[in-house]
Amino acid sequence: MNVRQYIAAIDQVDSIKRYGKVSRAVGLMIESLGPEANIGDVCLIHRPTNGKAVMAEVVGFSDEKLILMPYAQATEIGPGCLVESTGKALTVKVGRGLIGQVVNSLGECLNDSKLPKGLTSYLTEQSPPNPLTRPPISEPIQVGIKAIDAMLTVGKGQRVGIFAGSGVGKSTLLGMMARNSSADINVIALIGERGREVREFIDRELGKEGLKKSVVVVATSDQPALMRIKGAYTATAISEYFRDLGFDVNLLMDSVTRVATAQREVGLATGEPPTTKGYTPSVFAALPKLLERTGTSSKGTITAFYTVLVDGDDLNEPIADSVRGILDGHFILDRKLAEQGQFPAINILKSISRVMSNIVSDDHLEAAQQIRELMATYDENSELIQIGAYKRGTNQVIDRAISYHPKIQAYLKQGISDYHSLDASINQMKTLLNGGA
């Protein structure tokens, strides 16, 4: 036994606890004079009237004062409350025992039960994998939705944005993906959701079968901004843990827009200047750091689906535009299609999977392109067709598009409880083109 190592470790231990004290609180921000801490460290604010300390994170400093943001509501905190530094960043407990659990942004069970034993601590903030160690995406993954598997095939390790306004079916689509996907594990992040919707999503959209292979991370809209941000980081960290074990993981985050909104709140509270549509510079710096953590690695894959809320169905608003430039594809949910009763309301012509051509067979790609051409032809001439101004026989291409239109529309529709394998979806598409129903 090397006693010198133990003696050296003992010499480095600081046996004296050092505290700071709260000096000011404005809005979301709490200032404290001391203790020694770095940006990103977790501190404990001790309340005199309540024995339970409030966890807070160091988000900045001014002169010698720390700027803290609490993870919980800052109640019963006053001038002079003691602030203790933990000396480390936020960690959560992860492990296989976490599968089937619903946790908050700090990794604690939401049903007031204790976490299973045998879990290990894992930092919520990690660096993205080295670009040169990322294998290229070469294999498709089954999503279980015909329109996506056949027309917008997703690869293992691809990152896709689902863009839509409110009430167009994003949550329903995520639930179908979680139940029908061929991935080993689902990690579902519900960020900024209404409290009512959380239980409804778990019971109705996800179901018992979906929950058995899922970990759900919840940060509701009433929680502080930092908790909503950490919900996204915690879900990503859990996904990374399982990816490093060699699993194929699905990360489903609803929604990245609410993460950006929470980051804007933090930025404004710490004194950042508002820029595009009120978003602070830190928002556009944080998005790629978060989104680039998913994808392929030398050990496993994280196939990520991020929903993006678009105000007034404007796909060019700042967050949507930024996210679309980072990800490997985007699915557009169209309100007009939803109003016509087509679910999932995916606008195939406006959507794209940037890796599809690299992961599917030539005959699959050719069939998908033929259907796209038929849909585009019908869409270009839809007004003439609907008002009866187009006469059959004028153009063979348009005639063919008209004859195929009802078959294509019927093919793209899918019930919430319907299940279709990847091969079955492709075969149905080829049968449709060859004159089948």
pTM: 0.92
**According to the model, what pLDDT value does residue 437 have?**
53
**According to the model, what pLDDT value does residue 271 have?**
86
Q: pLDDT tens digits for 206-238?
A: 988 889 999 999 999 999 999 999 999 999 999
pLDDT band at 77; cut points 50, 70, 90: confident
**According to the model, what pLDDT value does residue 344 have?**
94
pLDDT band at 277; cut points 50, 70, 90: confident
pLDDT at residue 8 greater than cutoff 90: no
Is residue 140 reached through a cis peptide bond, with omega within 30 degrees of 0 on the bond before it?
no
**In the predicted model, what is the mean pLDDT of residues 398-422?**
94
174/112: higher pLDDT: 174
**In the predicted model, what is the mean pLDDT of residues 307-334?**
89
pLDDT at residue 196 greater than cutoff 90: no
**In the predicted model, what is the mean pLDDT of residues 110-116?**
87
pLDDT band at 144; cut points 50, 70, 90: very high
Q: Which residues pair with 24 in a beta bridge?
A: 31
1-5, 167-171, 316-320: least confident range: 1-5
10/182: higher pLDDT: 182
- Cα 77 to Cα 70: distance, rounded to the nearest angstrom: 11
pLDDT band at 1; cut points 50, 70, 90: low
**In the predicted model, what is the mean pLDDT of residues 180-184?**
94
76-90, 115-129, 310-324, 342-356: least confident range: 310-324
Contact 376, 349 (CB under 8 A): yes
pLDDT at residue 436 greater than cutoff 70: no
Closest CA to 162 of 45, 403, 329, 42: 329
| 42-51, 167-176, 421-430: range with highest mean pLDDT | 421-430
Residues of the chain above pLDDT 70, percent: 99
The percent of the chain in helix, strand and coil, each rounded to the nearest 5, is 40, 20, 40
What integer best gives the mean pLDDT of the chain?
Answer: 91
- Cα 400 to Cα 433: distance, rounded to the nearest angstrom: 11
Angle at 393 between CA 392 and CA 398, to 5 degrees: 75
**According to the model, what pLDDT value does residue 63 have?**
82
3-state DSSP call for residue 314? coil
219/169: higher pLDDT: 219
pLDDT band at 350; cut points 50, 70, 90: very high
**According to the model, what pLDDT value does residue 387 have?**
87
**According to the model, what pLDDT value does residue 9 have?**
78
pLDDT band at 331; cut points 50, 70, 90: very high
Strand ranges in 145-286 using DSSP code E only, listed in sequence order: 159-164, 185-193, 214-220, 248-254
The label of the residue with tokens 């827009």 reads 257
351/195: higher pLDDT: 351
195-204, 233-242, 258-267: least confident range: 195-204
